[in-house]
Amino acid sequence: MSIPPHDRGKLHRPCSISATPTSSALLLVSPPPRNPVDSFLRYEGHGSLFLAPARSDALETYPARLRDPMDAFFVSWLARLDELRSDLLAALIHRPHLILPAVDAILDHYREYRDARARHADADVLDVISHSWLTPFERTFLWVAGWKPSLAFRLLFHEGGDGGRDGCLLWPDQRTAMEELRRQVVAAEHRISEGLAEAQEAMASQAVLGAVRAGSRNVSARAAAADVVARALRAVVSAADELRDATLRQVVEILTPAQAAEFLALAAELRLRVHRWGLRRNG
């Protein structure tokens, strides 16, 4: 007999997360590992991750940043992400009636980041692809100007240190839906990666090369060639952003509210921790 989705959250804690009311975050103090995602998922060799409000020093700025409005926006956005993560945990522990509002708030926050990057891409799409406001360490994890959508499934189905599964405890129908969604997302990622490769190859097209060789003799040709490449890159970034949004939305729809809150808190903690590792390595 299947359990109604709204009752499932009452029967188990879906993700391997536990929360503590302590005032400081349990953040890694050693140098960042070679693969921080795997280290994060296998924290201290077991499936439990103790989440608490992050210390303020986790949100320090990278010295090379704060050069333009996007840099300043990201610093404030990251600080707000930490606050929303704490709101999710507080709702899970003390205020269950606030779980849905907390989930909606953090989803809106991610959309705000996407909208800011989209506006910036209209002016400088190459800067959006490179994410100059991140530390070099953080940029190593970018996929088409953002996080890779299939990472969501690594958080849901990660393997424990002993090779066993210790990710979210999903009901059979949820697991089936997640596996199908994962296959669709991976296929879409491949198509978008191919589109990015085609856009990059366009930089070596005859029209672009001819405009470059013409130099100052044909400014209009150079501008037209640059516009063609920029439009192709913006289209690929937009497709990647749509896939990120769709993946997050569909994952949350499959999960119960409590599961969604824990999943989003875990994802936010990973984002904050990678940022902290980046500051330590590159600061």
Q: Is the model more confident about 64 or about 202?
A: 202
Q: Is 184's pLDDT higher than 70?
A: yes
Dihedral through CA 266, CA 272, CA 276, CA 277, nearest 10? 50
| Mean local confidence (pLDDT), 44-57 | 40
Q: Is the model more confident about 191 or about 162?
A: 191
What was the pLDDT predicted at 149?
95
At residue 33, φ and ψ (nearest 5 deg) are -75, 170
Owner of token pair 């708030």: 105
Digit-coded pLDDT (tens) for 221-243? 666 767 777 888 899 999 999 99
What was the pLDDT predicted at 123?
86
What was the pLDDT predicted at 56?
43
Structure tokens at 84: 């929303």
Q: Is 30's pLDDT higher than 80?
A: no
Q: Is 162's pLDDT higher than 50?
A: no
Digit-coded pLDDT (tens) for 63-74? 445 556 788 899
What was the pLDDT predicted at 124?
87
What was the pLDDT predicted at 90?
95
| Mean local confidence (pLDDT), 213-223 | 58
Digit-coded pLDDT (tens) for 112-156? 999 999 998 888 888 888 888 888 888 888 999 899 999 999 888
Q: Is 181's pLDDT higher than 60?
A: yes
Domain housing 25: 5-53+60-282
Digit-coded pLDDT (tens) for 233-270? 899 999 999 999 999 999 999 999 999 999 999 999 99
Amino acid at 263: F
Chain mean position to CA 97: 26
Q: Is 99's pLDDT higher than 90?
A: yes
Average pLDDT over all residues of the chain: 75
Our count of domains for the chain comes to 1
What was the pLDDT predicted at 60?
55
DSSP one-letter string for the chain: -PPPHHHHTTT---SSEEE---SS-----SPPPSSHHHHHHTGGGSS-EEE-PPPGGGGPPPTT--SSHHHHHHHHHHHHHHHHHHHHHHHHHT-GGGHHHHHHHHHHHHHHHHHHHHHHHHHHHHHHHHTTTS-HHHHTT-SSSS--TTHHHHHHSPBPTTSSB-S----HHHHHHHHHHHHHHHHHHHHHHHHHHHHHHGGGSHHHHHHHHHGGGGHHHHHHHHHHHHHHHHHHHHHHHHHHHHHHHHHHHHS-HHHHHHHHHHHHHHHHHHHHHHHHHH-
pTM for this structure?
0.74
Q: Is 158's pLDDT higher than 50?
A: yes
